[in-house]
Structure 1
Amino acid sequence: MSCSIPWGYLEPINNIYPRKILTKSTYTIGRHLHECDIVLDSPELRQHEYFIHLSSKHFIIECINNGRSIIFHDISRNGCYIDGELVHQSKISFQNSEHIISLALIENRAYKFIRLSGLFNVINLDERYLKANLLGSGSFANVYKAISSVTQTHRAVKIINKDHCEKQIGPGFSKYLYREVSIHGSVDHPCILRRFEVFHEKTNLFVEMEYAGGGSLYDRIHKTYIMTDDECKFIFYQIACALAYLHRLKIVHRDIKPANVLLMTNEKETIAKLSDFGVAKYVYASSRYLNTT
């Protein structure tokens, strides 16, 4: 059975493996040309040392309960590793939004499985990106990870609900929304999260942005480890550079906090970027907003 809405994406970690957007309820993956939905038998793969370890039918992945459950079933002679754990001749349920699939050997990292979240229902976005997991949510906006199935580029797409905005802010909400996207789109600095395109729909505003794979500084402070003085100084320096740039443009951010500082990777030494221009303003010499940021 096939449907128009994709539920998963097999993103190759090693480019000798084919990529696949998953729309059917069940896929069989392996070397067999006629009995597999995704065939692991390209000329590049045949020349690789990993090829001899692959089975004619290596694993099955299926979507059940209307997309609520993803089941992985190893049917190979040598097994699979899911996030480093051996799965051999057995089934497991995928619990997370992303999983690493290694075939036969733990070092043969073949795929990243990414659970998808339907469609954006915006032609310009759905033609280019797959809608992946929810990254964060606020009182009137959700941010989703988006993946290009062609280039594997990752983006973040902020979906702002206009009706919720009107309830929270009032009839003049559009002025605040357009000010946010306008200011964000006008700046260009290596320590400010890039804003790309904006799509206006009847009920939602879609903002395409740079994806920060390391999450927020808030998450790192509260959920990972105790940061060293040097790590803190490096992040502080980068945000200070971003603020100095904004102030030269007569822009005040007005919402500096760890949740609005995004980290590009999970490495300890990483690029930090200032985000969320929801309350940013242009100011002038007579403005009282020059007194604080």
Structure 2
Amino acid sequence: MANKDPDTQTATQTQHSGLWSQIESQPVEPVIWGRLYGKNLKIKTLDLCNEIFNVGRNESNHLRIGEDCLSDRLLSRISKVHFSIRKDTNDLQSPTYIMDKSRNGTFVNGYLIGTGKEMILKNDDIIALSHPNYKALLFKDQCSSNELKDLPKAINDTYYVSRKLGSGACGEVHLVYDTKSCKPYAIKYVKKNALTEGSKRRVLNDPQRVMNEVNIMKNLEHPCVIKMHDIVNTPDSVYMVLEYMKGGELLTRITDNEFLSEKNAKLFFLQMCHAVKYLHAKGITHRDLKPDNILLRDSNEETLLKVSDFGLSKFVQKDSVMRTLCGTPLYVAPEVLMTGGRGSYTRKVDIWGLGVVLFTMLSGTLPFSDDYGSPAVEQIKRAKFTFRHRSWKSVSSQAKKLIYDILTVDPNNRPSIDDILSSTWMRDPEVIQKAERLMNIKLTGSKKSLSDVENNNDRVFAEPPKKRQRTK
């Protein structure tokens, strides 16, 4: 191809440069994230596009309330800045906040905000000035999420629904905010209807199973177990409002870093073990321990961890067995696979799950996979795994030994949770001290230690205990 003439090339570059200059110099249209409509207040429709919008008697306000809007009697009750509305324009799914700055009160749907306090505005909220009956303005949210539709009134009245945090076979998780306290939560939305698997109809999200998760979580109190804040039960769905863990899933933390350092993995594993110890003391077997179900408080490298998602858990007596085939295939214990779910297995399935999670944290890989030359199911049944990833070169022999002990086919030879906590690798004073600081409780050696909580064998029930039936 012939080279371009230098003068022609220069002219072309100049034209492109001029074009980009024109594009860059064009004003960016502001995003309208909300609108205010007058009700008893005589104003035109106002578009909200600034981060902060002030309303009051002062001329400097974005909306000035003067004699042309109100009578002298009502105007005397309006403050110079009566209220302000703010929005993070960099995150249009974030809530819209209204702050009461008046001496006589600002009301939203009849609720008094309180001087110097904030609440969240939602679509169609009515703002009243100085008295709940003086309904001045109607707010329209131009950025409200449409992902969750037909929410029950109890949810719509209490929470602002923001972005989706995750989803799975059983439902979705969204970030929500309590409109009065402005506190963030995670809401898990679960349908109770059946799910089709192949040609066989199997009810996974039946009402009894869904409410089982609810009844378990309502009564749990442990620093490393997710706490339920609220529950709304409808004929076809359950909405569980849970603690919001802004650090996200442990799985994401692992994949973002490829794998975790041994010290950090030990800190997380120690917290997981204490959560499982607590659950087992309460007669609860989780049965689906995996990095997806472990949540982190924040993005700090050393942070609090909480076990979540009890959809596959159920109460069992110490001498009871579970006969249901469940759990995530690559994390499920061999005794479950070998019996096809028709045999008997105990809480030792959680020990196996802990071992798989520990392996994954230290290497960023799974111990069992169809990619390793044979079916993963057969690998699990024989506990056939190797430390093949390069990360294992820097992992201590004590950590590897603990994984070997945990990933034992025979559950009777598998260590208990107390055995794991007393293992050589876990007796690390520095890590224990960090865990105590994060959990805000002494693990041992104090009158109010976590050991007292975990060893309390009082059963937790949503209702008074009833006569138990034999587990099927």
- Measured against the shorter chain, the TM-score band is 0.5 to 0.7
Q: How far, CA to CA, are the matches of 1:136 and 1:221 in structure 2? A: 17
Offset of residue 232 of structure 1: 1.4
Give 1:289 shift: 1.9
Richer in helix (by share) = 2
Instruction: Give the TM-score normalised by the residue count of structure 2.
Output: 0.40
CA 1:261–1:141 in 2, change beyond 3 Å: closer, same or farther? same
Instruction: Pick the aligned partner of 2:272 from 239, 251, 275.
Output: 239
Preserved CA contact (<8 Å) 1:262 1:275: yes
Determine whether 1:279 maps to 2:312. yes
The whole-number CA distance in structure 1 between the counterparts of 2:240 and 2:152 is 11
Given candidates 156, 159, 165, the residue that maps to 1:129 is 159
User: Which structure has the greater CA radius of gyration?
Assistant: 2
The root-mean-square deviation of aligned C-alpha atoms, in Å, is 3.5
Change (3 A) 1:241 1:127: same
CA contact (8 A) 2:280 2:347 kept: no
Which structure 2 residues correspond to residues 175-190 of structure 1 after superposition, within 5 A? 175-190=208-223
Q: Counterpart of 1:154?
A: 184
Query: Does structure 1 residue 27 correspond to structure 2 residue 57?
Result: no
Summarize the Cα distance change of 1:233–1:166 in structure 2 as closer, same or farther, 3 Å threshold: same
* 1:42, distance to aligned residue in structure 2 (A): 4.9
Give 1:177 shift: 1.1
Q: Which amino acid aligns with 1:180?
A: E
> Of the candidates 223, 238, 262, which is equivalent to residue 205 of structure 1?
238
Matching residue of 1:289: 346
Higher strand share: 1
Which whole-Å CA distance do the structure 2 matches of 1:186 and 1:158 have between them?
A: 17
More contact order relative to length (CA 8 Å, sep ≥ 6): 1
Q: 1:143 aligns with which of 141, 149, 173?
A: 173
CA 22–189 in structure 1, closer or farther in 2 if over 3 Å, else same? farther
* 2:273 counterpart of 1:216: no
Alignment pair present for 1:163 and 2:196 = no
Q: Does 1:230 align with 2:260?
A: no
C-alpha displacement at 1:36, in angstroms? 8.2
Distance 2:153 2:82 in 1: 35
* Alpha carbons 1:120, 1:126 under 8 Å: kept: no
**Native 8 Å contact 2:145 2:163 kept in 1:** yes
State the secondary structure of the residue aligned to 1:243: helix
Q: CA 1:253–1:44 in structure 2 vs 1: closer, same or farther (change >3 Å)?
A: same
Equivalents in 2 of 1:26, 1:271: separation in Å? 42
**2:150 is the alignment partner of 1:117:** no
Q: Post-superposition shift, 1:169?
A: 3.6
Map of 1:11 onto structure 2: none
Given that residues 218 and 228 in structure 2 are in contact (C-alpha distance below 8 angstroms), is that contact kept between their aligned partners in structure 1?
yes
Q: Which residue of 1 aligns with 2:301?
A: 268
Q: In structure 2, do the counterparts of structure 1 residues 169 and 150 end up closer, same or farther at CA, with 3 Å as the change threshold? A: same
Distance 1:280 1:122 in 2: 26
Q: C-alpha displacement at 1:286, in angstroms?
A: 3.8
- Matched letter for residue 27 of structure 1: L
> 1:22 & 1:147 partners in 2: Cα distance?
18
- Whether the 8 Å contact between 1:166 and 1:173 is mirrored in structure 2 is no
Instruction: Give per-residue Cα distances to partners, 1:38-97, cap 9 Å, x unaligned.
Output: xxx85999xxxxxxxxxxxxxx99xxxxxxxx9x6xxxxxxxxx5xxxxxxxxxxx7x85
Task: Name the SS of the counterpart of 2:193 in structure 1.
Answer: helix
Distance 2:258 2:250 in 1: 11
Q: C-alpha offsets along residues 215-259 of structure 1, whole Å, 9 cap, x if unaligned?
A: 000011113565322221111111111001111111111111110
In 2, distance between residues paired with 1:34 and 1:208? 37
**Contact in 1 for aligned 2:166/2:173 (Cα 8 Å):** yes
Are residues 34 and 240 of structure 1, via their aligned partners in 2, closer, same or farther at CA, if it must alter by over 3 Å? Answer: closer
Please list every run of 5 or more consecutive structure 1 residues that lacks an aligned counterpart in the other structure.
1-20, 46-59, 62-69, 73-81, 83-93, 100-113
Partner SS, residue 163 of structure 1:
coil
Q: Distance in 2 between matches of 1:123 and 1:153?
A: 19
| Matched letter for residue 132 of structure 1 | S
Post-superposition offset of 1:122:
1.9
Deviations 1:118-147 (A, max 9, x none): 466222222221000011111231111101
Shift in Å at residue 166 of structure 1? 7.8
How far apart are the structure 2 equivalents of 1:33 and 1:172?
53
Using structure 1 for the length normalisation, give the TM-score.
0.62
Q: Report the equivalent of 2:281.
A: 248
Aligned-pair distance for 1:26? 3.5
